[in-house]
Amino acid sequence: MSSSLNFEVLIPRSLCEIENTDKLIVDDEGLASFFITWEKGIVSDLKPLNIENKKPTKILFPRFVETHSHLDKSFTWGEFPNFKSNYEEALSVNLEEHITRTTKKVLDRAERSLNLALKNGYRAIRSHIDTYEALEKNIWAELFNLQKEYSSKLKLQFVALAPLEFWDTDNGEKLAKKFSIHKGILGGVVVPPFNKKKIKSLLSKMLLLADKYQLEIDLHIDESTSDPGAGIKVLLETIDRLNIKVPITCSHLSSILNLKDNEIINLGRKIAEKEIKVIALPLTNFWLLNRNDKNTSLNRPVAPIKQLQKSLVDVSIGSDNVQDPWYSFGNYDPFYLMTCAMPMLQLSPWERLTLSSFFLAPSRLLNLSWDGLIKKGCPADFVIVDAEKWADIFSSNLTKKVFINGELYC
């Protein structure tokens, strides 16, 4: 086991921080040449590499953070396929899967997913776990054991994805109390069409419960093609009325794309003002929403990342489902996500805000102790790939090495 390692690497300029930039060479794609050293898991030196006609042939990234996944149903596609590939059918097949669900099956799926995620370069994952009355009672104890088991390599956060009504029951309160010890997050779905009065009342109860136990909330909201922004508008009204401060994440927030530009900007300002964080999930949105088997259309709602960023909203990009009724593909691979999402959403990898949504915003969203910026004193938690330009990253034959706490993991 070597305690000191060093590399000549390229690092995206917006993902690193150094004091003296005098001799720093940054290429046209925003990749800067560095000499990096780490000892005992911590970066001990980071300096510009300035040798004429010599460019490193490796790119270094901080290990990735997945803001939105569903470990509990990953890899169920074989048993529970959804060949119609639309939202309604996904939900219906998902409910069929619930009937056969056991704690053991969920743990097997989660472990398989986490091992892949580690190998592919993730350091933290937030996962929603379907939560309903008939769920086996021991599941949360087992999931928190799993969280502990992986904690030296990967930080795992759980969101209990329940019907909003659940948070107004005794079992909901009991789970919230348990979550106050384990830092679990309350989840739910707010998708139109809905009864506005009823949703307002349920959201109020959920927010008050979160406030009582000092918990965060993460909602699947406005993952829809109709009623643009109906969910977020109700949520904002409810927060205003209650006048409480609960940390909130809005996952999806897709339909607001169909609002007028000035409406999106205004809504974005309110979202930023309330410090609500947003996760855009382009893969599932593009796959499930507005599906038309006869006509090809580009009309897919996805959170308007650039407008939201312009309104100072902290936006992350996540993967969502992996090989289950909601999304047939994926492999807990951040490079797959970047390869699909960047061209899909016209996000350029040499733009600071693009990289922020893949690296820095996710670290903030999960409240990680390291923000993902590479600098002296940061943890040596890296993915190093054989590449010298962005095109190499988005090719299929990427060779990579993952370092965890400074040691080669794979």
In terms of phi and psi (left: phi > 0; alpha: psi -120 to 50; beta: otherwise), the region of 268 is alpha
Amino acid (one-letter) located at 400? K
What letter represents residue 357's amino acid? S
Instruction: Give the nearest distance from C-beta 240 to Zn ion in angstroms.
Output: 26
Residue 405 CB, nearest approach to Zn ion (Å):
30
> How near is the Cβ of 70 to Zn ion at its closest, in Å?
6
Nearer to Zn ion, 216 or 320 (CB): 320
Q: How far apart are CA 149 and CA 72, in angstroms?
A: 17
Show the binding pattern over residues 92-131: x = contacts Zn ion (CB under 5 A), - = does not. ----------------------------------------
Q: Which is nearer to Zn ion, 320 or 381 (CB)?
A: 320
Helix (H, G, I), strand (E, B) or coil at 286: helix
**What is the nearest approach in angstroms of Zn ion to the Cβ of residue 185?**
13
CA-based nearest residue to 66, from 128, 145, 136: 128
For Zn ion, the binding residues in 299-328 under the rule CB under 5 A are 320
Nearer to Zn ion, 130 or 320 (CB): 320
Q: Min. distance of Cβ 94 from Zn ion in angstroms?
A: 11
Q: Which is nearer to Zn ion, 128 or 153 (CB)?
A: 128
Nearer to Zn ion, 314 or 320 (CB): 320
Which residue, 320 or 333, has its beta carbon nearer to Zn ion? Answer: 320
In the complex, what is the shortest distance from the CB of residue 252 to Zn ion, in angstroms, rounded to a whole number? 7
| Min dist. Cβ of residue 326 to Zn ion (A) | 7
Closest residue to Zn ion using C-beta atoms: 320
Count the neighbouring beta carbons within 10 Å of the beta carbon of residue 345.
18
DSSP string, 77-90: TTTS--TT-SHHHH
Question: Helices (DSSP H) in 15-132: which residue ranges?
Answer: 87-100, 103-120
Task: Classify each residue of 349-371 as buried b or exposed e, where b means 16 or more C-beta atoms within 10 Å of its C-beta.
Answer: bbeebbbbbbbbbbbbbbeeebe
Q: How many residues touch Zn ion (CB under 5 A)?
A: 1
Give residues with Cβ within 8 angstroms of 137, minimum separation 6: none
Residue (320 or 324) nearer to Zn ion, CB: 320
Footprint on residues 217-276 left by Zn ion (CB under 5 A): none
The span from the CA of 133 to the CA of 53, in Å, is: 64
Contact residues toward Zn ion (CB under 5 A) are 320
